[in-house]
Structure 1
Amino acid sequence: MKYYLMVEAFPSHPDRVDEFNEWYETTHIREVVACDGFLKATRLAPADAAGGSFITLYEIEGDPERALHNVHAAAAAKQFDMSDSLSFGPVPKMRIMQVYSEYVKPE
């Protein structure tokens, strides 16, 4: 079975999008992937000028609940270098997703 941790997050202010992305790319995403149970991450950004949330898909290896526990434990131990460019109103949404199916366009 293949699992992902899906995280939906917002910058704390529209003027801080660049700062938010810089922190996420150079610091946060690397800290999360360094936790046991994670393989890689893919970030998704709004494709239109309206803005909105950013989605990160963290690919999980092994038990997804254990991987999520590892992230929560690292956060509780203050092992993540957090930024106030990340909004906590709304709080980032985290959800474990299971790959239901994959389809590749035939050649």
Structure 2
Amino acid sequence: MWKLWEAVIPGSRPRYKWRHSWKNKPGTDFVGFDGERQIGRVFQIDEAGTRGKWLWIVHTEGEDKMNWPSSGYEADVTYAACRVEMVYENIRSGHRRAIEN
């Protein structure tokens, strides 16, 4: 559960570089990069209960997650990318999440 201060602000846009996971297969699967470092992935899974939602995964590369979740769902691809970036930036900066998952 996200707290109010962790909300993705309506109208937010991703700040990092995002591209289709496979150049030859555009669709609903994207990866995000901070320079050369892959920071996460957002994609859709066509299963009951998740249809229309975007699964996001943050790549933590063995780092301490600082109580941040490493995956979840958002209703919109843009918000999912913004969520990856928010969690990634908090983990990289060493900002511990105030609540336990």
TM-based fold match above 0.5:
no
Between Structure 1 and Structure 2, the one with more helix by share is 1
- The two structures have a TM-score, normalised by structure 1, of 0.26
Structure number with higher relative contact order (C-alpha < 8 Å, ≥ 6 residues apart): 1
When Rg is computed on C-alpha atoms for both structures, the one with the higher figure is: 1
- The two structures have a TM-score, normalised by structure 2, of 0.27
